Amino acid sequence: MEYDLIMHELGNWQSPMFRQVFKPQPALSTFVKNYCVLRQEWACDQNGAWYILPDNSAYLIFYLVKRKGVLIPSLRLIGPRSRHLIINRKNRYFTFMVSFRPGAIAPLCSVPMADLCDQSTDAGEIFHWCDQILIERLTAAGQTTDLAEFIRILEMALLSGIRSTEAINPIISHFTSIGLSSQLRVSEISDSLGVTDRHLRELSRKHIGHSPKSMLQIERFTRSLILSNHSREWTSIAHDSGYYDQSHMIAEYQKMCGQSPERLFG
């Protein structure tokens, strides 16, 4: 088991699954972190668990699943997660994932991000620019695995949505670019931003989905996952990730993944 930062998943990355990562065009880079394409998911070991982990980002995922010999398309918005999810990659033919920066998808959505946390929602219910014609065009490009055409079609749709929205909230932008990369307390971050703890909490739940405290917990959790790829010395990992001690780290792992780090990686 190994953690993958791009997919924000824990699994067997030595499997036959083929992955490619792309950067968005400059006009989208403020909103989108990267694209990730998966092929041959059906060839993965179906007995092994794949853990989608707690995250501060939202994702737009298009995939083709083979059912009774027919490829069925789906385009869904995956909201920020507060708990892990175990998935099975069986029958997936093609997957394209848009990874949004924390808080960046909120201007595109018609509902508060808190309502989308830990939810998978049909993108057509959230975005006005997502219709059946778009799904059909993406399906045609996905079936032929013409990635250049697929990305062109999807980016045109994303740009049409972004042009009709407001910019990312400036306080949230500063919080995600500065506060999340630090090991400060929520009160220290809100002071540095010139807002009250309550106002930051309200903005965070509206634009990101999680409370500031939860976001900082998830970032600390993510730092520990990155370190776990190089060492399984959990006492050192707990210290370097910003936990009070190993017991504190185990408690937060139990909350987010339902088990200790040793059992999760075992």
Q: Tens digit of pLDDT for each residue in 151-197?
A: 999 999 999 888 766 678 889 888 888 767 767 788 988 998 999 99
Q: What percent of the chain has pLDDT over 70?
A: 97
Rounded CA-CA distance 209/202 in Å is: 10
Are 24 and 132 members of one domain? Answer: yes
Instruction: List, in sequence order, every residue forming a beta bridge with 76; answer none if it has no partner.
Output: 61, 122
Final residue belonging to a domain, choices 102, 135, 163? 163
Are 44 and 176 members of one domain? Answer: no
Are 64 and 157 members of one domain? Answer: yes
More confident residue, 74 or 176: 74
Domain coverage including residue 156: 2-163
Final residue belonging to a domain, choices 129, 163, 197? 163
Whether the pLDDT of residue 71 is over 80: the answer is yes
Are 205 and 232 members of one domain? Answer: yes
For residue 131, CA distances in Å to 62, 75, 157 come to 13, 10, 10
Task: Assess contact for 188 and 155: CB atoms under 8 A.
Answer: no
Are 22 and 130 members of one domain? Answer: yes
Q: Tens digit of pLDDT for each residue in 100-109?
A: 999 899 888 8
To the nearest 10°, report the CA torsion of 110, 114, 118, 119: -20
> What is residue 89's predicted lDDT score, i.e. its pLDDT?
84
Number of domain units in the chain = 2
